Amino acid sequence: MAWAKINLTLHVTGQRDDGYHLLDSLVVRAGVGDELHVMPSERLSLTVSGPGAEGVPTDERNLVLRAAALLDAGAGRGAALHLIKHLPTAAGIGGGSADAAAALEVLAAHWGTALPKDPARLGADVPVCLVDSPQRMQGVGEVLTPWPALPPCHLVLVNPRIDVPTPAVFAALTDKAQPPMPRVIPDFANLAEFVEFLLMQRNDLAAPAIARAPVIADCLDALDDAKLARMSGSGATCFGLYETAPEAEAAAERIRAEAPQWWVAAGPVLQPS
């Protein structure tokens, strides 16, 4: 599975000379995602289906095929890949990066080869999408540190089905040297302590994203019964944090009824196995 990547926090702490932004982010994977299947074939191909398939390319523009090419390294191996697309694209939840990471994993097993040493060549979020457990992501995404165990919790994801271009959101951020998260992360005895910690953190891209797409604020308002509601990544997907699966499912059903034009999904925060 290509699980959704959720930035529970996203602090923009600087910008390198090459333009890449430095981040400090708590990233979790939600139990909601795309599916990728592989079958033997003499040539490499990709087909796409599912509710989010419209407009998804099946040529080298798709990160799945670019991941396959990176792993193959010119050997000319084949595989028939089929992607079932559930996640919205350009949504701030790493859909393409998660698909690329899944492609690396399924093809490495299929071809009997090791994962590449430089998955970040495919995108800054690909390394974190190769890990299902919570991570502190720093640098431009290449510095990953396992996060202490989290209390069990569940997410509701809401996307208003609009694209918010990441470069435009970063460009609109006036202060690109914000404080990072605390150096030492405490242990959390329960969800209330975890939420209290999260409330002291930020997503520095939320304000410029909302200025560009005010409907993001409506998504946050729809999650007003959550323990915490925040935008993920550069938007436009927002998440609500809930204690139990029934609470999350009830909130998702309510929002689907109130805004049937939006994409809404519920799932657990994945924890270390």
Catalytic residues: 5, 125
Return all residues near 76 (Cβ < 8 A) that are at least 6 apart: none
User: Which two three-digit tokens encode residue 25?
Assistant: 């982010």
Q: What's the burial of 245, exposed, middle or buried (CB within 10 Å: 0-12/13-18/19+)?
A: middle
Please report the DSSP string for 150-173 in residue order.
Answer: PPP-EEEEEE-S----HHHHHHH-
Side by side, which strands form the sheet with 228-231?
Answer: 228-231, 238-242, 154-159, 263-268
Q: Is the peptide bond prior to 236 cis by the omega test (within 30 degrees of 0)?
A: yes
Query: 11-15 and 2-7: which strand pairing?
Result: unpaired
Residues linked to residue 10 through DSSP beta bridges, in sequence order = 203
Q: What is the DSSP letter of 141?
A: T
Helix (H) or strand (E) holding 128: helix 126-129
Among 60, 72, 167, residue whose Cα is nearest residue 111:
72
- Interacting residues of 107 by C-beta distance below 8 A, sequence separation 6+: 38, 67, 68, 71, 72, 79, 81, 113
